[in-house]
Amino acid sequence: MKGNFLRNTSIVGAMTLLSRVTGMARDMVYSRMFGAGPLMDAFIVAFKIPNFLRRITGEGAFSQAFVPVVNEYRVKRSHDEVDALVAGVMGTLGWVLFLITAIGVVAAPVLIVFFAPGFEGAGGRLDLAAQMLRWTFPYIFFISLTALGSGVLNSYGKFGTAAFNPVILNIVMIVFAAWLAPHSSNPGVTLSIGVFVAGVLQLVAQFRGLSRLGLLSWPRWRYAHEGVRRIATLMLPGIFGSSVAQIAQLLDTWIASFFVTGSLTWMYYAVRLAEFPMGVFSIALATVILPGLSVHHSEESPERFNGTLDWALRLTSVISLPASVALFVLAGPLIATINGYGRFGSHDVLMSAYALMSNAAGLMGLSLVKVLLPGYTARQDTRTPVRIGITALSVAILFDLVVVVPAAYFGAPIPHAILALSSGIGAYVNCWLLYRGLRASGIYRPSPLWKRLGLQLLLANVAMALFLWWAAGAWDTWTQWSALIRVGRLTACVLGGAFIYGAVLWLMGLRPRDLRPV
């Protein structure tokens, strides 16, 4: 089992790294072709609405409700019963999603006003975003059913296909953004059609793996099925509990829609870069440990449950903390190297870099939440994360009202960067309460390895940060260099920082065996 965790995390991490690299290429095409203007602001909102629902139903509440139940069926019941469960969930969820999609397409202008009220009367962004949303909203139908198939494949240890899905989206969007949209009379709508096409292809990509498992039966409406009803019961509270970060980001969109044109685009590129390490590692690790924790719980093995969770938290700390520090120190060089070309000028680079620094500050909290949540959902407890999520979201909203809104009202120069802090603050509150709940209930007990790890991480990250600050130099010089020089300088910074970080950890006595499951 220990070897499987490492191997599966490596597989998911590698596929997710590929998806993040292609996603970065996609964002480079966006920034070069469309800059930071009304079209990109409108597209970001039009794509964020179905993406918000996707991360709640697909990656969040549904996966965390479905995977433990399907694992229980796989361990304790026959293959035919698993097949009936999958077909029932596919059919029941499909009809619900179809209804939601139909409503979303018809009510597109209303949804845009609700999620981005600042678009009204602002250079035609409202009408453009509504046209785009009619094409992007069906993505929630396709990607949620894709998440169902991915959950089944993950439960059977088949992680590669599911992890490759985002690559399909990125490749399709690069094609539409680079070659089709620029030659269209309405490039924004053409870009949105690419989202629709990508959703169809991502769903179809699951069929082969499900067929090989013998779990590709015709979907049926089976809400009366015991397993389907249990998943629905677990899913409803989890919709909120697993999605605090997404709700906070949508609140950020609501407020940022009143800022100057370009603010949403600056924040988008910053969030995308901040999500890079979290997607490559934290989400991959959470995806892998959830089925394992579910099995440990079903087999009533508390020691193995605790050991798996503790290992995941240690590994997350060793990898996510330096990623957060590096993103903060290298915010300007990163944005300049990846996005600072074509219509995305030096001012756009600076504004997006400020937002990236704010997002980097909250990255560790968001990463730990991803790993802590399976400690609850693997035991089919989705109610506790709801209560904790409400508290964390309330803190983020309070920060917006007390700090962000007054700062914007009184003319703060970078209100979008201040706004980006709220999600991180909410994430740290969420993280602490999830951790405290696991400790108080006796479900999790930290291993003795933590006693030295804290000091090791502190010294290694300080050393790395000092090197990166020296190596990066002045931000304003980066936009004056050619792309080749930027890439070379950034590569040297990253490799040098990684070497110093690893060397200090080694000198402080940390060894690979200390990061193995116990």
DSSP string computed for 339-392: T-STTS-HHHHHHHHHHHHHHHHHHHHHHHHHHHTHHHHTTT--HHHHHHHHHH
Q: CA 157, CA 150: separation in Å to the nearest integer?
A: 10
Contact 52, 250 (CB under 8 A): yes
C-alpha Rg value of the chain to the nearest Å: 22
The DSSP symbol for 216 reads -
pLDDT at 320: 92
pLDDT at 305: 87
Residues in contact with 272: Cβ distance below 8 Å, sequence separation at least 6, in sequence order: 23, 24, 27
Burial category of 464 from C-beta neighbours within 10 Å (exposed 0-12, middle 13-18, buried 19 and up) = buried
Backbone angles phi, psi at 373, to 5 degrees: -55, -45
Instruction: Tell me how crowded residue 481 is: count the other CB atoms within 10 A of its CB.
Output: 15
pLDDT at 58: 52
pLDDT at 389: 85
pLDDT one-digit tens code per residue, 80-128: 999 999 999 999 989 999 999 999 999 999 999 998 998 986 567 899 9
If you search the block for the tokens 């499900």, which residue do you land on? Answer: 210
pTM of the model: 0.84
pLDDT at 234: 78
Longest dimension (CA), the chain: 64
List the domain boundaries for the chain.
Answer: 38-238
Contact 353, 335 (CB under 8 A): yes
What is the SS3 string spanning 471-494? Answer: HHCCHHHHHHCCHHHHHHHHHHHH
Q: CA 355, CA 414: separation in Å to the nearest integer?
A: 9
For residue 77, what are its two tokens?
A: 């019941």
pLDDT at 240: 59
pLDDT one-digit tens code per residue, 267-311: 999 999 998 887 667 766 776 776 778 777 767 788 888 888 998
pLDDT at 59: 56
Q: Which residues of the chain have pLDDT under 70?
A: 1-9, 13, 55-61, 63-64, 121-123, 237-246, 248, 279-280, 283-284, 287, 290, 298, 517-518
pLDDT at 1: 47
For residue 129, give the nearest of 170, 197, 56, 186 by alpha carbon.
Answer: 186
